[in-house]
Amino acid sequence: MASKLEALEQWVNQAAALTRPARIHWCDGSDAEYQALVQQMLADGTLIELNQQTHPGCYLHRSHPTDVARVEHLTLVCHPNREDAGPNNHWMDPAEAHAKIDALFDGCMEGRTMYVIPYCMGPIDSPLARCGVEITDSPYVVANMRIMTRMGAAAQARIEREGTFVKGLHSIGELDPERRWIMHFPAEFSIKSYGSGYGGNALLGKKCHALRIASNQARTEGWLAEHMLIVGIENPRGETHYVAAAFPSACGKTNLSMLIPPEGYRRDGWKVWTIGDDICWMHPGADGRLYAINPEAGFFGVAPGTSDATNHNAMRSISHDTIFTNVAVTADNQPWWEGLPGAPVTDWQGRPYDPANGPAAHPNSRFTVSAKQCPTWSETAEAAQGVPISAIVFGGRRPSLLPLVMEARDWSHGVLMGAAMGSETTAAATGAVGVLRRDSMAMKPFCGYHYGDYFAHWLSFDRPGAKLPKVFHVNWFRKGADGKFLWPGFGDNLRVLEWMIDRAEGRASGAETPIGILPDEGELKLDGLRLERARLEELLEVDNASWQAELSAIGDYLASFAPRLPERLRREQQRVVQALEDDAGPSRREAAAS
Question: Choosing from 27, 78, 251, 280, which is the catalytic residue?
Answer: 251
How far is C-alpha 329 from the geometric centre of its chain's CA atoms?
27
Alpha helices in 120-270 (DSSP H): 139-148, 153-162, 199-202, 214-221, 253-257, 263-268
d(CA 259, CA 302): 16
Q: How many CB atoms lie within 10 A of CB 541?
A: 18
Q: What is the DSSP string of 210-273?
A: IIIIHHHHHHHHT-EEES-EEEEEE-TTS-EEEEEEE--TTS-HHHHHT----HHHHHHT-EEE
Output the CA–CA distances (angstroms, integers) from residue 238 to 40, 268, 271, 385, in the order listed. 48, 11, 9, 21
- The length of the chain is 594
What 3 state SS string does 53-119 have? CCCCCCEEECCCCCCCCCCHHHEEECCCCHHHHCCCCECCCHHHHHHHHHHHHCCCCCCCEEEEEEE
What separation, in Å, do the N-terminal and C-terminal C-alpha atoms of the chain show? 80
CB 286 within 8 A of CB 464: no
CB 448 within 8 A of CB 216: yes
Amino acid sitting at position 329: V
CB 167 within 8 A of CB 191: yes
d(CA 175, CA 186): 25
Please classify residue 594 by burial: count the beta carbons closer than 10 Å to its beta carbon, then call 0-12 exposed, 13-18 middle and 19+ buried.
exposed
Of 343, 350, 339, residue with least CA distance to 314: 339
Amino acid sitting at position 565: L
CB 241 within 8 A of CB 231: no
Most distant CA pair in the chain, distance: 80
Annotated binding site: 70, 198-200, 207, 227, 249-255, 278, 364-366, 397, 490-493
d(CA 333, CA 297): 28
Of 541, 489, 487, residue with least CA distance to 519: 541
What 3 state SS string does 505-532 have? CCCCCCEEECCEEECCCCCCCCCCCCCC
Annotated binding site for Mn(2+): 207, 227, 278
Radius of gyration of the chain (CA): 24
- Residue 251: active-site member: yes
Annotated binding site for GTP: 250-255, 366, 397, 490-493
Catalogue the active-site residues.
251
